Amino acid sequence: MTKEEAKKVDELVMKTFTLAYELGTKLDELHREVRELRFQTDDVDLEGALINLEHAFFMVAQSINILKEQTRNTLYPLKKAPRGSEKQNVKDRK
């Protein structure tokens, strides 16, 4: 992996983590509002719909956690990858 490739991956990882944390924060705020509304309502139909919406929030949160985990996994090849001239040495050995 070249230094340029490593730099691009580093930037991508930082953008992804920033996005994931921002999404997670906004998602948590909205989830709290939905939950409060569910506890405040006496309408059974609305309560059921809000439970389904809470479940959707949970699924999105799980997806964000997977995104963060897979982004972290992207960092491992960066640590192991040969850089610049090291890459050429690896090719020469083959």
Q: Is residue 14 part of a domain?
A: yes
With beta carbons less than 8 A apart as the criterion, state whether 57 and 38 touch. no
Nearest to 1 by CA among 58, 94, 66, 85: 85
Q: Is residue 94 part of a domain?
A: no
Q: Is residue 93 part of a domain?
A: no
Q: Is residue 37 part of a domain?
A: yes
What is the pLDDT, as a whole number, of residue 84? 59
Name the pTM for this structure. 0.68
With beta carbons less than 8 A apart as the criterion, state whether 13 and 74 touch. yes
Q: Is residue 29 part of a domain?
A: yes
Q: Give the range of the structural domain holding residue 28, as residue numbers without chain letter.
A: 3-79
The count of domains in the chain is 1
55-68 average pLDDT score:
93
By three-state DSSP, how is residue 47 classified? helix
Q: Is residue 86 part of a domain?
A: no
pLDDT digits (tens, 9 = 90+) for 16-28: 989 998 998 999 9
Q: How much is the mean pLDDT over the chain?
A: 86
Sign of the Cα torsion 28, 29, 31, 35 reads: positive
Q: Is residue 90 part of a domain?
A: no
